[in-house]
Amino acid sequence: MKKIMLLGLAVLLVCAVAFSGCLSNDKDTDVIIGYQPSTHQMAYTSAKALDWWAENLTQIEGIGKVSDKSFPSGPSEATALASNAIQAAYIGAAPLIPSIAQGNDLKIVAAVQINGSGLIVPTNADYTDPTYFEGKKIATFPPGSIQDTLLKQWLADNGVDMTKVDIKGMDSGEAQTALKAGSVDAVFLPHPAPSIIVQAGDGKVVMDSGEMSPDHACCVLAVSQKFIDEHPDVVAELVKVHADATKYTNENPEEAAKYYANITGVSESIILQSISDWDGAWISDPYVIEDYVVAYAKSQYDQGLVSKQLTSEDLFDMSFYDAYVKAN
């Protein structure tokens, strides 16, 4: 009898191990999505709060866990995407350009948002026109970011002597602290930072980014060509969830603000104020931003930041968005 019981236990153990292997396969691919804590990327936080990322992606055969990683700005996130440390990125379009120009095969598969940044000076500053910034220090995201690219182009287009402007690369928190301390004369940052600064009484917005370049591209959803080749079904689902979450965020901004606040720790009232203040818009159609992103590539080439002029074909893969539109 003892032998029979031991044999039965052994069989149960083997079955349990086999069943456990079915539940968690070491060969499953985990998906890490990069994002930045900005009002620009609220479609991401909406989908996260609604559990759409994990719920939808883990239904695909061979996909294991779905998680995320927050980045302070785009350049470091582009590096993570190129090295496969993350599999998808909510990121500014401009930081992808140097990475692609250096030979990393990354592709924009959807738009995320347009406009939505602000140029801020101290509340007592007597701003007149762009030449005001000659002899001044401006903090913005690091070289290659949307904000850095747009700011430099706007200053140059308005006749500012760029040799007289000191542009400091900082993340949002550092820039806000620097403005408050008086160690810089202005900051150019994405929302919600402009609303946070104004609410604190530390500055005033003198120019929205949409005034600098109307309806300019900002954030996008990007993946690597390697990930497209290996997991086209996952990329298709990423685009679908993003497009659905963009629609949800536009239709339910107050709920989306609550989700964003819960995930990032920024107060809900500030996020609602940011949505009221900003000139941005959440979108998913990559065709809307195509010309702007190619223009960013030209601007970075003209500034000597990249050695190769990139085309739309180098930067975009529209096929997944096309398939989403056809299915919906």
Amino acid at 203: G
Rounded mean pLDDT, 17-34: 64
User: Residue 67 contacts by C-beta under 8 Å, 6 or more apart in sequence?
Assistant: 30, 31, 32, 33
Pairing of strands 88-92, 204-208: unpaired
CA distance 87 to 284: 19
Rounded mean pLDDT, 52-66: 95
DSSP code for 203: -
Rounded mean pLDDT, 186-209: 96
Q: What is the dihedral of CA 134, 138, 142, 144, to 10 degrees?
A: -40
Tokens for 212? 């600098």
Instruction: Decide which of 3.30.230.70, 3.40.190.10, 3.30.43.10, 3.40.30.10 is the CATH code for 117-212.
Output: 3.40.190.10
**DSSP per-residue codes, 141-159:** SPTTSHHHHHHHHHHHHTT
**111-129 pLDDT, tens per residue?**
999 999 999 999 999 999 9
Name 205's bridge partners: 120
**145-175 pLDDT, tens per residue?**
889 989 999 999 999 999 999 999 999 999 9
The backbone torsions φ and ψ at residue 304, rounded to the nearest 5 degrees and listed phi first, read: 80, 15
Rounded mean pLDDT, 76-90: 96
Q: Do domains 28-114+217-327 and 117-212 have the same CATH topology?
A: yes
* Residue 283 DSSP SS3: coil
DSSP code for 99: H
Confidence label for 10 from pLDDT (cuts 50, 70 and 90): very low
**219-257 pLDDT, tens per residue?**
999 999 999 999 999 999 999 999 999 999 999 999 999
Q: Taking a C-beta distance cutoff of 8 angstroms, is the pair 184, 178 a contact?
A: yes
The dotted CATH code for 28-114+217-327 is 3.40.190.10
What is the predicted pLDDT for the residue at 302?
A: 87
User: Residue 29 contacts by C-beta under 8 Å, 6 or more apart in sequence?
Assistant: 62, 63, 64, 87, 230, 231, 234
Helices (H), the chain: 2-23, 42-49, 52-57, 74-82, 93-101, 146-157, 172-181, 193-200, 209-212, 225-230, 232-251, 253-264, 268-277, 290-302, 312-315, 319-327
Pairing of strands 166-169, 137-140: parallel
- Domain extent listing, the chain: 28-114+217-327, 117-212
Q: What is the dihedral of CA 11, 12, 15, 16, to 10 degrees?
A: -150
Rounded mean pLDDT, 263-275: 93
**305-318 pLDDT, tens per residue?**
899 999 999 999 99
